[in-house]
Amino acid sequence: MLEKAKEAVAISPDAGQIIPAYYNVVWGYVSLGRPADAEQALRQAMARADQPDALTGAFHIAFLKDDAPGMQRQIALAKGKPDREDRLSNLQALTLARSGRFESARESVGHAIELASAAGTRERAAAYQTAMAVWEAWYGNATAAKRNATHVLDVEKGRHITYAGALALALAGDTPRAQTIADDLDRRFPEDTSVRFNYLPTLRAMAALRSGDRSRAIELLRPAATYEFAQPGISFYGVGGVAFGAMYPTYVRGLSYLALRKATEAAVEFQKILEHPGVVLEDPMGALARLQLARAWTMAGDVGKAKTAYEELLRLWEHADPGIPVVSEARAEYAMLR
């Protein structure tokens, strides 16, 4: 995508219809984890035309640079601007959830949902809510995950949002309903790339893993390797994107290797996620990948690497809300290594 976008810009740099290509260059560099190049491309894009993608792109760049004031600046710039404030409120919610600050994250995503609903972008509001359901489930809040997912699935039937709702249910323990939804997606979207190579492998591997068939889970994830570092449809749902859902097959594969007690193989999978921050972006799953990497190194007997992974994670979770089980588990596991 990046090279084609750069070619389009080079062919006709001042044509109005080429403006999206400038922003595709930005997204290409973001995905590659090259914030300096992305920032330069963003300046060039904004010199031609300001679009809603400008603030989301700038937020992602600030995130990749670990620039908290920069992220806050984009949130402030989006205030009161239709088609922008909801996006930035959602991205803020993801970063807050990633750091374990769930009360603030729920407030921020709630604001995003309200704004999108009021603007008539109902499906984008649904995407924000299913994203919340997934990160609630990742952190063990099964009741909240099921409630949010069910609320959306009762109304929305699009493949991307349906997948996100099903994944939240699967993570929260409702395997039968998640598999029923997976079968429905398979029947309705047999040629869709995201469905075939990301959504179905993830959902079916989750079911196999929960039933104890770990080797089967890894086998089910083989088709996903074709698009290992691609952004699935839900990640860029609608204009501007939702910024979650990438590399979930990789994460589930890592969990499967851990369940098989293949620590080195598991570590490879979780390390892949951490080495591609421009693909994962603000998704809270990125924090959990570091936790699973620490567990993999512990299982492998490499205390030094395990301690480093735990320390990096616990710095991120330093101001996490009290009472989050997975955060408490991580702190206790780290204490046992010292």
Is 23 part of any domain? no
Q: What is the pLDDT of residue 5?
A: 45
Predicted confidence band of residue 8 (pLDDT cuts 50, 70, 90):
very low
Is 174 part of any domain? yes
Is 287 part of any domain? yes
User: pLDDT of 264-274, one tens digit each?
Assistant: 999 999 999 99
User: pLDDT of 278-289, one tens digit each?
Assistant: 999 999 999 999
Neighbouring residues of 38: CB distance < 8 A, sequence distance ≥ 6: 26, 29, 30, 57, 60, 61, 64
d(CA 13, CA 11): 6
Burial of 124 (C-beta count, 10 Å sphere; 0-12/13-18/19+): buried
- Return phi, psi of residue 306, to 5°: -65, -45
C-alpha 172, offset from chain centre: 17
- Domain boundaries, position 183: 51-337
Q: What is the pLDDT of residue 53?
A: 81
User: pLDDT of 91-144, one tens digit each?
Assistant: 999 999 999 999 999 999 999 999 999 999 999 999 999 999 999 999 999 999
Q: What is the pLDDT of residue 156?
A: 87
Neighbouring residues of 78: CB distance < 8 A, sequence distance ≥ 6: 55, 84, 85, 87, 88, 89
Task: Give exposure, 84-108, as e/b (b: 16+ Cβ within 10 Å).
Answer: bbbbbbbbbbbbbbbbbbbebbbeb
Is 36 part of any domain? no
Predicted confidence band of residue 3 (pLDDT cuts 50, 70, 90):
low
Instruction: Give, in degrees to the nearest 5, the angle at Cα 19 between 55 and 78.
Output: 15
Q: What is the pLDDT of residue 18?
A: 47
Q: What is the pLDDT of residue 1?
A: 58
**Per the structure, how many domains does the chain have?**
1
Question: What's the whole-number mean pLDDT along residues 184-213?
Answer: 96
Is 58 part of any domain? yes
Greater model confidence, 77 or 238: 77
Measured CA distances, 82 to 71, 87, 114, 234 (Å): 19, 10, 12, 21
d(CA 262, CA 260): 5
User: pLDDT of 18-48, one tens digit each?
Assistant: 456 777 888 899 999 999 999 999 998 888 7
Q: What is the mean pLDDT of the chain?
A: 91
Predicted confidence band of residue 13 (pLDDT cuts 50, 70, 90):
low
The CATH number covering residue 282 comes to 1.25.40.10
Q: What is the pLDDT of residue 280?
A: 96
Predicted confidence band of residue 320 (pLDDT cuts 50, 70, 90):
very high
Tokens of 33: 């984890």
Question: What's the whole-number mean pLDDT along residues 286-293?
Answer: 98
Is 30 part of any domain? no
- DSSP, res 226: G
Query: Given phi > 0 = left and psi -120 to 50 = alpha, else beta, which region is 286?
Result: alpha
Measured CA distances, 204 to 131, 219, 220, 312 (Å): 19, 10, 7, 32
Is 38 part of any domain? no
Is 5 part of any domain? no
The pLDDT of residue 16 is above 50: no
